[in-house]
Chain A
Amino acid sequence: MAQDQSISEETLYLPVRELGNRIRTRKLSPIPLTEAYLTRLEKLGPKLGALITLMRESAMKEARAADQEIRAGRYRGPLHGIPYGVKDLVATRGVPTTWGAEPFRKQVFNYDGTVVQKLRAAGAVLLAKLAMVELAGGFGYNHADASFTGPGRTPWNTNFWSGGSSTGPGAATAAGLVAFSIGSETSGSIITPAAFCGVSGLRPTYGRVSRHGAMALSWTLDKLGPMCRSADDCGLVLAAIAGRDPLDASTVDRTFTYPEPANKKKYGIGIIRDATRNVQPSVRQNFEQSLKVLGKFCQITEDVAYPDLAFGPVVSTLINAEAASAFRDLLDSGRASQLRAANDRWGGYAGATILAVDYLQAMRVRTEMKKSLDELYAKYDALVAPSRSTVSYPIDVEFEKAYPGKNGGPAVIPAGNIAGQPAISVPNGFGPNNLPTGIQFTGKVWSEARLLAITHAYQQATDWHTRRPKM
């Protein structure tokens, strides 16, 4: 504990790249750094509803091993000795993997998910399993209190939700409880908590990151991705976890390397038409302010028409049907009644009656939607829109009652997930109740490097990502 006292809160909020530099040059040891994050996680994690399992013993063992290797001159790279947390839907050997749900609270796997294996190979130190909406929200929850750990709270104002379904990764990253985290998205579960917690969250292209060992909600939509305090950090983490995995047939053999991007190119950005329709005034103001910043280094095309297609029905049909199959044992056993949110106790059953031909119809329409989006995105480096139409929702209010009528413009999140496109949300200001807002950049498939370069340049010109909540 004596070493812990030498680590300041400011250090815990440093970017991964800077922490890595200090560890590489031995100005900072992974041992006290890990101890300090563990102490902070233990103290603040439960208050934020962000923590499920603290892995103190194994984390300290990994930190000591990293320290020893680096001292011996065997530095593995920018994540070596960096402490992180993972959403509790990724399997970890010998430690509960609860999927945020009471019926799976004692579930233990005897293997590590590929993402955990890859991060271990990169030398990162796993601190904890982080909270999540039960079953990643697949059964239709409409309230923040939808996990056996209770509601996730944004550290900017703990009366408000941290967003879902990656509640713990969002809150823990924003509160400096981890250096970075791993979240997952089926349709919005990285982008939403990134926006509500004021962090940078990257949804990779479908197939970029292996999901082996991760809970399946929808095999054709699920993605794992980094949640960090900066876009640059997202790049470093993605480089460590990307790549083909024979254990996940969706993954492809495409190299992703991430040097820190140089701000040289003038990027072509399109502003989605009606992107600020039915959004809160502060969301609109912050978005417009962001566009002014982007205008300094981007070629902006205004009023880009977004396909007005039935993205919602397609994504709902796919998730409802695939979730009913993925959780068929749970539904058949009646144990869905143990779920926390009232809607989740019955919400999975209707999916069990979706006809195969209707599911396949949605998948056939999906192919055509993807072609349309691919054609549109071929013209731009990125399209931009507010990440969410409002700031976060109050903890004790049903979602649809929080901000009536503020349901936003085009359905960019479901559309991007249907097409398997990457997206990143970065903070761009604050709205009511000291709550953060975000701007999302979406791009064509496999364009993560470009999205990261643009958002890194944006963050070089702004300081929203460096703001810290008062804890």
Chain B
Amino acid sequence: MSARKDRRAFHKTIGLLAAGSLAVPALEAGAVQPSGEGDSRKVAAGALMDIIRSRYGKFLSEEQLKRVRQKILGNLSMAESLRRVPLQNSNEPALVFRADLP
């Protein structure tokens, strides 16, 4: 695929996702999720919350843990939206490892 065609496809897809990303604050506010994707997100959030409780539970109140869970749901929603962006194997992350570290 040419770079130009790639870019058009990228715009088309991620443009739609940008509109979808407006839903993130509602998610964080604990809005009801659509079934399917939302259920999967809740399962993932539950697993990640197990890590939070295991590592940091002693530092956080139940109310704070509830807020952490809401934020994790928001993070998962953002990750899902970005995962739908079409990328080729050759699309590198904006990271460069340098052999000549200072």
A residues sitting closer than 8 Å to B (CB atoms) are 140, 220, 246-249, 307-314, 316-317, 320, 331-332, 334, 336-337, 343, 345-347, 349-355, 358, 360-372, 375
Contacts and interface: CB of A to CB of B under 8 A. Distances in A.
Given A249-B98, A367-B94, A140 B71 contact: yes
The 6 closest A-B pairs by CB, nearest first: A363-B93, A313-B78, A334-B59, A350-B71, A358-B79, A346-B64
B93 A353 contact: no
A347 B71 contact: yes
Contact of A368 (B19, B48, B67, B91): B91
Residue with the greatest number of chain B CB neighbours at <10 A, chosen from A310, A317, A363? A310
Given A140-B71, A368-B91, 14 more contacts: A220-B95, A309-B18, A310-B81, A312-B21, A313-B17, A314-B82, A334-B58, A345-B64, A349-B56, A350-B71, A350-B75, A354-B75, A367-B93, A369-B14
Interface residues of B, number: 42
A366 B102 contact: no
A143 to B, nearest CB: 14
Given A140-B71, A316-B78, A317-B82, A336 B92 contact: no
Nearest to B50: A353
B77 to A, nearest CB: 8
B68 A309 contact: no
Given A313-B78, A361-B79, A367-B91, A332 B55 contact: yes
A124 B32 CA distance: 56
Interface in B52-82: 52, 55-56, 58-60, 64-65, 67-68, 71-72, 74-75, 78-79, 81-82
A309 B102 CA distance: 35
> Interface of chain A, helix or strand or loop or mixed?
helix
Nearest to A219: B95
30 contacts: A140-B71, A307-B11, A310-B17, A310-B18, A310-B78, A310-B82, A310-B85, A313-B17, A313-B81, A314-B82, A317-B75, A317-B79, A334-B56, A346-B65, A347-B71, A349-B52, A352-B52, A352-B55, A353-B48, A353-B72, A354-B79, A358-B75, A361-B79, A363-B95, A364-B87, A368-B14, A368-B85, A370-B94, A371-B7, A372-B10
Contact of A365 (B24, B71, B82): B82
Residue with the greatest number of chain A CB neighbours at <10 A, chosen from B14, B79, B85, B94? B94
Contacts of B71: 140, 347, 350
Contacts of A345: 64
Contacts of B10: 368, 372
A366 B79 CA distance: 13
